[in-house]
Structure 1
Amino acid sequence: MSALLLPEEIEALFTREDGSYTFSRWGRPITPIVFGVTDETLATVKGAVEAVVTLAGHKMAETDPELGANLMFFFFRDWNELLEVPDLDRMIPGLAPLVSRLSEEDASQYRAFRFDEDGGIRAAFVFLRMQGGMAEMPAEALALTQAVQVMLLWGDRAFAEVSPLAVLPENGNTILRPEIAGVIAAAYDRMLPVSAQDASHALRLYARLQALPAEGSTT
């Protein structure tokens, strides 16, 4: 496969700031819901999620039997708007101090995950403040970036310096970088666990990457 990452590069993608290795993937079908956007943007976000889920060989569903929707996207202009969302404080413990901290940091995005007993992702909440650079991003690129970042529990700085996306010079289309697409596909291999805390898991991902066929990336 082209653009194959080295084991240490894969390990870095799932290493947290404290040096611990933490990997998790969805253990149940994904049911997305999007708040605060137009119907057109809603379709773009759900389309991006579906494209990445298909790449992973995972499944989507109309409803989650326990939660209704288990992947929630919130688009807004000011963090304080979250305090007005009904029952959100029940889903996000400590919402008020979190909003205060994110406002002080002038943060543009925040993701929160919930996990099943086996460590698999049970639910994810994506908060996007549409100001500045975030508001200027093309909807397709923004949606694909966010879909990628909730498909796995990535390390704190996995995409801090290099975006998971790339722009094709020949036509200007935005694609998911082949090496990241490969990691996602490998991570959902049925022979691998839904969660891992040992860095040796990165070696297993590397082995699966070598076995993947060379193919195009999600657009």
Structure 2
Amino acid sequence: MTDAPLMTPADVTAHFTRSNGNFTFARWGRPIVPVVFGVEEQTLEVVKGAVEAVVVLADHKMAETDPELGANLMVFFFRDWDELLEVPKLDELIPDLIATVARLKGAGASQYRAFRFDDQNAIQACFTFVCMTDAMAAQPAEAIALTQAVQAMLLWSDEIFATQSPLALLPDGQTILRPEIAALVKAAYDPMLPVAADDASHALRMFARLPNS
């Protein structure tokens, strides 16, 4: 962490500025309770391990159950977007599910996240969908799991990871979060910061908490 490359305030701002130009930041306001669908037991442990690693990095908490939803981080793996239309009661969790599936299929998307927020605008739940296309299936399970875990941890810009992965590959082949992304996650969960913000000045407060900033 101490060797994290420097980010400028503009860099931090960009990570939470959406394609419509709005700055929107949110982090989890409650312990995270993950559940994973569509994978074998071995992969299940990889995904939950990745979530736990990012939660520990943020100094946040996990729990056995969520009082409202039971599980609040639901991760679905599947081969075809149409499979989501067959999941019982999923349309109650994802508004306009049929239209959303059609849009994602048309865009050739491989992943999608839907967030739910509480009355403080903190993340209350995250529904993560990973379509195992040929390109996605070619990636190591550890890389997929860590990518999904970090993207569920904050309400990132919808564009920021479109061209550059949040991961880095070490010389020994180990996959890790890019140091600057890890540092940003840690800064975002500073207890002195609010759980949500829609003013870009919040990026300056995060920047001040980055190593060597």
RMSD: 1.1
Residues 27, 211 of structure 1: CA spacing in aligned structure 2 closer, same or farther, 3 A cutoff?
Answer: farther
Amino acid at match of 1:206: F
The sequence identity of aligned pairs, in percent, is: 65
Match of 1:29 among 28, 31, 36: 31
Amino acid at match of 2:209: R
Counterparts of 1:89-104 in structure 2, within 5 Å, are 89-104=91-106
TM-score using structure 1 length = 0.94
Tell me the SS of whatever aligns to 1:186: helix
Counterparts of 1:3-152 in structure 2, within 5 Å, are 3-152=5-154
CA distance in 1, matches of 2:124, 2:212: 28
Unaligned segments of structure 1, at least 5 residues: 213-219
Amino acid at match of 2:198: Q
TM-score using structure 2 length = 0.97
Amino acid at match of 2:18: R
**More deviation, 39-48/101-110:** 101-110
Runs of 4 or more above 4 Å deviation: none
Aligned pair count reads 211
Alignment-derived partner of residue 188 in structure 2: 187
Output one character per residue of 1:8-65: Cα deviation in whole Å (capped at 9) or x when no partner. Answer: 0000000001111000000000000000000000000000000000000000000001
Unaligned segments of structure 2, at least 5 residues: none
CA distance in 1, matches of 2:97, 2:162: 25
Output one character per residue of 1:42-92: Cα deviation in whole Å (capped at 9) or x when no partner. Answer: 000000000000000000000001110000000000111001101000011
Task: Work out whether 1:209 is the aligned partner of 2:210.
Answer: yes
